[in-house]
Amino acid sequence: MIEQIDNLDKKILSELLAHCRKSFRQIAVELGVSPVTILSRVRRMEKSDIIKGYSVILEHEKLGYQLTAVTEITVSKGKLLEMEREIAKIPATCCVYDVTGLTDAIVVAKFRSRDDLSAYAKALLAMPFVERTNTHVVLTTVKEDFRLSP
């Protein structure tokens, strides 16, 4: 079931996406409502899993992650979910998606070196039921931001 949110909820979410450390009191002042209103709406959205957590946005390259790879994976014998769960456990893995088309899954991962990427690609191929992989190395990141506006 999709939770219904109104314009105030959308404004609150936009503020939290831009500045998750901002106090509820500051958000209330900016939106012209009481802090209790902000608190109750945020708690409701947390309870309904619209808000799943709070985080910082890291600049991965400044932390030494110079390589991003996007890997297409083809799986055999109906073991897609099991394989995806195993890949999701690997620390370098950022995203795992079921997809339509010629491949079964797309995986996005980040690496500090070519050696790390090579080991990851070989580990994927060694997994049971992985038939084939096709890895693309990202040359330039134009946009990488999963903070969609509500």
Residue 145 lies in a domain: no
- Note whether 86 and 111 are same-domain residues: yes
- Note whether 85 and 132 are same-domain residues: yes
Residue 108 lies in a domain: yes
The residue range of the domain holding 24 is 7-47
Is a pLDDT exceeding 70 seen at residue 1?
A: no
**What tens digit of pLDDT does each residue of 98-119 get?**
999 999 999 999 999 999 999 9
Supply the pLDDT for residue 56. Answer: 87
Mean pLDDT, residues 56-71 taken together:
93
Residue that has been written with the tokens 């409701």 in this structure = 44
Q: Is 142 exposed, middle or buried (CB count within 10 Å of its CB: 0-12, 13-18, 19+)?
A: exposed
Find the CATH number of the domain harbouring 32.
1.10.10.10
Is the pTM here over 0.75, yes or no? yes
Contacts 24+ apart (CB under 8 A), 55-64: 55/20, 56/20, 57/145, 57/147, 60/110, 64/112
Query: Domains in the chain: how many in total?
Result: 2
